[in-house]
Structure 1
Amino acid sequence: MTDTATIAAALRAGMSIADARRRYQPNEFALRALALCERLGSAPAENLERLAQVEVAQAKAVAELEVAASGPRASARLVTLLPVLVLLGAQLLGMRVLNAVNIFTFGSILFGVLLLLGGRRWSSRILEGAKPKTLDPGAALDAFAAAMNAGLPQRVAVEEVESLFGSQPEVARLINASAETGLAVSKLARAEADRQRLTWRIESERKIHEAGVRLMWPLGLAVLPAFVLIAVVPLAAAMLRGN
């Protein structure tokens, strides 16, 4: 799949939209932008250059958020493996924990494993909820700005954008703001698109930080009790048997 900046450069050099679509493999957003430009007669190179800048910024933001999320993810993985590692380590050190297994310790280990699996699933759901979404929240507003820059009436521009992105109530608010302030609605739309992307990034960071705190719940209610049941109880049984 060719990056959008390359396609924009080809269009800037004079390649037609149809040729660019055939020669390259635009991503979903680039295809939407090209389709809109083709239908509206707007400048495809300018719109794809804007899209390429947005994609670079979004990719950087997603990468940074993934790095931020790697800490809680690694912590969740470590704490779920800790009881098993302690049990195996004790066995390797000659404490013969597994030799002391009886009905009581077997039930303890089994219940601990169930708790551990439940805690792992709980942690995974927390981390999944904090995973950054790669969708561009400002794509529809950028498309509306492109439609307005192409000289379309506002009503037609709204219809064209909604045919691609669905209902866009934010556009009506921007049109009213443009009428009240006298500012070009296309500039307002692009500014709002950038604001929505910034809000998306801040919200994603907040979810990641919250996930790090919320992981304490499965740790305290599932993983730590599982640690006691899987590691501490068999160790205690082995020590008592040794005595």
Structure 2
Amino acid sequence: MSAPAGFDPVRTARVLDRVATLVTAGAAPARAWALVEGRGDGVAGAGAGAGAGARVGAGAGAGAGAGAGAVSGAGAGAGSGARATARGSAAADDVRVVVAVAERTGAPVAPTLRALAEALRRTAAGDRAVRVALAGPRTSANVVLALPVLGVVLASLWGVDTLGVLVGSPVGWASLVTAACLVGTGSAWSRRLVRAVEPDGRIPGVLLDVWAVALSGGGSWSGAGDVVRAAVGDRPTDPEEQARLSETLTLARRAGVPAAALLRSAAEDLREDAAAASLADAERLGVRLVVPLGVCVLPAFVLVGVVPVVVALLSSTVAGLG
């Protein structure tokens, strides 16, 4: 559900950690990507990465395409839905932009890759919290939906023809149709609640990370801005990240200090806030999912498991009196 088979944030984080370790040891980013992807000595992979990177952000960084391939491969499974693919693509885009800017400016990329890996692990923690929140209501719904079948069997053993009432009377058919509509409504309601708390796959604070990498290359602020704009292109950016970026750059300019460290700290703050919000959403989800259960699933159980028994008992009683 919230951790789809097509996108595994933990596995993707491991890929980023390995690439960061190789880069720290002295490997070029493009070759590090190729080695992690298992392409032999990485010579061919490095060339492919350079070509793909040249296309990202109008030439903003060799190796970016190879990095995106590694992330996409890390998240690939036997099958994936549209949401899983979108989330994996969003994470790959974030990594691609960071690597492209690092290659363009010559800045060290390993610390940022490790920060992105940690952000993905926090995403996985949020996914697990959502799954835990779903477990109780989902189990309760399955039990409640199974009870009508048990009720029909028990009533038959007692000599009450509930199945005949369900399929052989207008009241039974009305109960079945209404119960089916209620169950369908409850299921759609639950899915909408779950989708509302699912992460979109973007790594929080990545815009600040990109700026930090660009400024770590030693260039001017205007030059760093040009590189970032070329790499980011027209991809959407979070308004909160934009506001935090402006605030941090203004603070660094007024204080006369390098902005890279401040930007990385601000990015970490954003990720901490996002992780806390994700866990809070998961806790609220566990409470909200009880509402479809009570409003839709329980009435469906009454219609299918209780109403036919009452109708059958009344019918047999009236027939006996007559």
Does the CA contact (< 8 Å) of 1:138 and 1:196 recur in 2?
yes
How many Å separate the matches in 2 of 1:21 and 1:60? 20
SS, match of residue 151 in structure 1: coil
Structure 2 distance, partners of 1:69, 1:233, is 35
Partner of 1:145: 212
1:48 paired residue number: 110
- Where 1:42 maps in the other structure, the secondary structure is coil
Structure 2: which 5+ residue stretches go unaligned? 1-11, 38-69, 72-91, 318-322
Deviation of the 1:217 alpha carbon: 3.0
Say if 1:169 and 1:68 are closer, same or farther in 2 by CA, change over 3 A: closer
Aligned residue in 2 for 1:189: 263
TM-score normalized with structure 1 length: 0.86
For 1:84, the equivalent position in structure 2 comes to 145
Aligned to 2:128: 67
Aligned to 2:310, what secondary structure does the other structure show?
Answer: helix
Cα distance, 1:6 vs structure 2: 1.8
Counterpart residue type for residue 191 of structure 1: S
In structure 2, how many angstroms separate the alpha carbons of the residues matched to 1:227 and 1:51? 51
CA deviation after TM superposition for structure 1 residue 53, in Å: 4.2
How much has 1:109 moved relative to structure 2? 1.7
Residue type of the alignment partner of 2:138: R
Q: Which residue of 2 aligns with 1:17?
A: 29
Mapped pair 1:104 → 2:171 = yes
Residue 135 (structure 1) aligned with residue 147 (structure 2): no
| Count of aligned pairs | 239
**Structure 1 stretches of 5 or more lacking a match?**
none
* Aligned counterparts of 1:58 and 1:121: Cα–Cα separation in 2: 30
Match of 1:155 among 212, 222, 228: 222
Q: What secondary structure, in the 3-state scheme, does the structure 1 residue paired with 2:104 have?
A: helix
TM-score, normalisation: structure 2: 0.66
Which is bigger in relative contact order (C-alpha 8 A, separation at least 6)?
1
Q: Matched residues in 2 for 1:238 and 1:186: separation?
A: 76
Q: Contact conserved, 1:109 with 1:230, CA < 8 A, in 2?
A: yes
User: 1:212: which partner in 2?
Assistant: 286
The structure 1 segments of at least 4 consecutive aligned residues displaced by more than 4 Å after TM superposition are none
Partners of 2:95 and 2:131 in 1: CA distance: 30
Q: Which moved more, 1:9-18 or 1:81-90?
A: 9-18
Query: Percentage identity across aligned positions?
Result: 24
Q: Is the 8 A contact 1:76 1:120 kept in 2?
A: no
Q: Indicate if the aligned counterparts of 1:144 and 1:189 stay in contact, CA closer than 8 A.
A: yes
Give the Å deviation of 1:83: 4.2
Kept in 1: contact 2:245–2:263 (CA 8 A): yes
Which amino acid in 2 is paired with 1:5?
Answer: D
After TM superposition, give the deviation of residue 224 of structure 1 in Å.
Answer: 2.5
What is the CA–CA distance in structure 1 between the aligned matches of 2:195 and 2:223, rounded to whole Å?
A: 39
Q: Which residue of 2 aligns with 1:180?
A: 254
Residues in 2 aligned to 1:39 and 1:206: alpha-carbon distance in whole angstroms: 39
Query: How far apart are 1:242 and its partner, in Å?
Result: 4.6
Tell me how far 1:14 sits from its aligned partner. 3.0
> What CA deviation, in whole Å up to 9, does each residue of 1:64-98 have, x standing for no partner?
32232223322332343344311111223225421
Other-structure match for 2:96: 31
Q: What SS does the corresponding residue of 1:3 show, helix, strand or coil? A: helix
